[in-house]
């Protein structure tokens, strides 16, 4: 099989092909021999097709301006007498379609991990006024870095456009993932939300909701708006079910809005595992330790609580076992210290602390019920709640709740345990005295705490530029 000759690159294999283009795997001739993917568009195939030319121009224009960790990066583009070449980053893990076919039904925790990354990319596109219009598993590429962690990236912007003008449009996209309103030619940016729902459904249950034996059967289902039912024996969480059913509403006016989608408690996009959120966790935990040592217990508890909301998902998403174990051990100690501070504050009288100092966030991430999606469990793999024990990593849940409870009562009135209470009839009820903590009073009330040091380099989720470049080369290099 002959490969195209592209200046500066050596083509090694064919990755796939479409109506007008073929994608090849190649590597650079000079330097570290970094692997790239090259989309080769045959000029002879598109010269008589105005739509193909428009799609190509759209893709090149968009990829040049879109820079996001979950969007495939275009490195360069060039051309010769026969072809136009779009040079893009190579994603080592194939695409989401192959992943689904390989593993069948994807565990909900991993579906959420991918969904958070897809939503992050869509939020970025939304801010740019761009609609993809052809979202499907084939166009969601997976990059597997040197630490074995999958990163989802949105690709193939040939159908994308800016949706600043409303009105009739031509039908575009893949029918199996296409929103019902697109058949009528009247649609807007909400078509991508339907596609997300179909992708989510296929990941969870192994096939798309309108999977059909023939194209005619598929179109009939779409036109008749056949009801979409969740398989009766499915064990998805209430939060997952709520988001899925709201995405798959046939009427775009009743479909979940972009704002509600990005802010859905199950998705919890604000605290998703990312470099930025891990760095926020590091900063907050460091501040908490400083305030803790200075004796500012309420402030320290608030900072611990906020920092742990960012840290828990990042620990769970850590794919390297050694790094995850080390981070989990530190996480357990921060949890333990926050519990100590909470117990100490609960034992003090309200008049001893100003109300402003007592106020703090009411819960951390692991306090979310399963209806909202347990953040500690919504990770790359089936990681149990890392915050319960650094050694066992075992999850203990009752009614879908994580067993740990950091800062659950922060911001509430101090407990009246050990004090007499008066009921409505005027009789006095004796409250049980608080049990003695296993931490011990000396350790509990001391201002000098011994806590492990948390650093940005502790996790592969974040890395400096030199380390990041090294990881990319290690993951995608010809040797």
As a dihedral over the C-alpha atoms of residue 131, residue 137, residue 138, residue 140, rounded to 10 degrees, the angle is 60
Q: Could you tell me if 71 and 144 lie in one domain? A: no
Tell me the residue length of the chain.
Answer: 479
Half-sphere exposure of 67 (CA within 13 A, CB side): 3
Residue 461 lies in a domain: no
pTM (2 decimals)?
0.72
Query: What pLDDT was estimated at residue 50?
Result: 63
Q: Could you tell me if 398 and 262 lie in one domain? A: no
d(CA 372, CA 309): 14
Q: Could you tell me if 115 and 254 lie in one domain? A: yes
d(CA 113, CA 119): 10
- In total, how many domains does the chain have? 3
Range list of β-strands (E), 156-244:
161-162
Q: Could you tell me if 286 and 258 lie in one domain? A: no
Q: Could you tell me if 258 and 312 lie in one domain? A: no
Q: 59, 90, 121: which is the final residue of a domain? A: 90
Q: 40, 66, 90: which is the final residue of a domain? A: 90
Residue 4 lies in a domain: no
SS3 at position 439: coil
Residue 139 lies in a domain: yes
Residue 476 lies in a domain: no
Q: Could you tell me if 85 and 142 lie in one domain? A: no
Q: Residue 193 is part of which domain span?
A: 96-267
**Domain containing residue 449: CATH number:** 1.20.58.80
Residue 478 lies in a domain: no
d(CA 130, CA 415): 52
Q: Could you tell me if 83 and 116 lie in one domain? A: no
Q: Residue 268 in contact with residue 375, Cβ under 8 Å? A: yes
Q: Could you tell me if 219 and 282 lie in one domain? A: no
pLDDT, tens digit only, all 479 positions of the chain: 678 888 888 889 888 887 778 899 998 888 778 899 998 888 777 766 667 777 777 777 777 878 888 999 888 888 888 888 888 899 888 899 999 999 888 999 899 999 999 999 999 999 888 888 889 999 999 988 777 788 999 988 776 666 544 444 555 567 889 888 888 778 888 999 999 999 999 999 999 998 888 888 888 888 888 889 888 888 899 999 999 999 999 999 999 999 999 999 999 999 998 888 999 999 999 999 999 999 999 999 999 999 999 999 988 888 778 888 999 999 999 999 999 999 988 884 333 434 333 333 333 333 333 333 333 333 333 333 334 333 333 333 333 333 344 433 433 433 434 444 444 444 444 444 444 444 444 444 454 567 888 888 888 887 544 444 544 444 454 43
Residues tagged active-site: 134
Q: Could you tell me if 442 and 298 lie in one domain? A: yes
**Domain containing residue 130: CATH number:** 1.10.510.10
Q: 66, 90, 114: which is the final residue of a domain? A: 90
**Domain containing residue 56: CATH number:** 3.30.200.20
Q: Could you tell me if 81 and 104 lie in one domain? A: no
SS3 at position 161: strand
Q: Which helix (H) or strand (E) holds 78?
A: strand 74-79
Residue 475 lies in a domain: no
SS3 at position 333: helix
β-strands 9-17, 21-28 pairing? antiparallel
Residue 192 lies in a domain: yes
Q: Could you tell me if 144 and 262 lie in one domain? A: yes
- Identify the burial level of 129 via C-beta atoms within 10 angstroms of its C-beta, where 0-12 means exposed, 13-18 middle and 19 or more buried: exposed
Q: Could you tell me if 262 and 320 lie in one domain? A: no
Query: What pLDDT was estimated at residue 405?
Result: 44
Residue 318 lies in a domain: yes
């Amino acid at each position: 099989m002959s490969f195209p000759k592209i200046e500066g690159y050596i083509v090694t294999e064919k990755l796939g092909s479409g109506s007008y283009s073929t994608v090849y795997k190649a590597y650079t001739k000079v330097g570290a021999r970094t692997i790239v993917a090259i989309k080769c568009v045959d000029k002879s195939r598109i010269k008589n097709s105005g739509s193909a030319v428009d799609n190509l121009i759209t893709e090149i224009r968009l990829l040049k301006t879109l820079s996001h960790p979950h969007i495939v990066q275009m490195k360069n583009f060039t051309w010769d007498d026969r072809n136009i070449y779009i040079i893009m980053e190579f994603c080592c893990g194939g695409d989401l379609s192959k992943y689904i076919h390989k593993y069948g039904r994807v565990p909900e925790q991993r579906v959420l991990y991918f969904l958070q990354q897809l939503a992050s990319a869509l939020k970025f596109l939304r801010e740019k006024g761009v609609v993809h219009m052809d979202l499907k598993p084939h166009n969601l590429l997976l990059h597997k870095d040197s630490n074995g962690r999958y990163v989802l990236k949105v690709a193939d912007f040939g159908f994308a456009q800016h949706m600043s003008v409303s009105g009739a449009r031509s039908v575009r996209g893949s029918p199996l993932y296409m929103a019902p309103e697109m058949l009528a030619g009247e649609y807007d940016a909400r078509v991508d939300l339907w596609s997300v729902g179909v992708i989510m459904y296929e990941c969870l249950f192994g096939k798309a909701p309108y999977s059909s034996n023939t194209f005619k059967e598929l179109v009939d289902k779409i036109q008749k708006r056949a009801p979409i039912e969740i398989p009766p024996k499915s064990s998805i969480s209430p939060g997952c079910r709520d988001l899925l059913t709201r995405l798959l509403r046939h009427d775009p006016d009743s479909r979940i809005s972009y704002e509600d989608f990005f802010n859905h408690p199950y998705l919890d996009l604000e605290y998703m595992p990312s470099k930025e959120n891990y760095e926020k966790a590091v900063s907050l935990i460091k501040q908490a330790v400083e305030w803790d040592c200075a004796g500012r217990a309420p402030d320290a508890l608030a900072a611990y609580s906020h920092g742990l909301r960012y840290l828990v998902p990042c620990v769970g998403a850590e794919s390297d076992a050694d790094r995850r174990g080390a981070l989990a051990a530190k996480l357990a100690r921060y949890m333990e210290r926050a519990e100590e501070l909470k117990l100490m504050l609960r034992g003090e009288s309200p008049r001893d602390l100003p109300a402003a100092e007592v106020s703090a966030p009411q819960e951390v991430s692991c306090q979310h019920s399963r209806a909202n999606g347990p953040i500690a469990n919504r990770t790359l793999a089936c990681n149990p709640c890392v915050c319960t024990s650094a050694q066992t990593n075992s999850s203990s849940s009752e009614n879908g709740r994580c067993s740990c409870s950091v800062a659950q009562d922060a911001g509430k009135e101090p407990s009246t345990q050990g004090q007499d209470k008066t009921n409505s009839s005027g009789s006095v009820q004796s409250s049980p005295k608080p049990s003695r903590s296993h931490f011990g009073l000396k350790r509990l009330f001391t201002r000098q705490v011994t806590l492990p040091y948390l650093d940005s380099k502790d996790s592969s989720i974040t890395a400096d530029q030199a380390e990041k470049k090294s990881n990319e080369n290690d993951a995608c290099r010809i040797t």
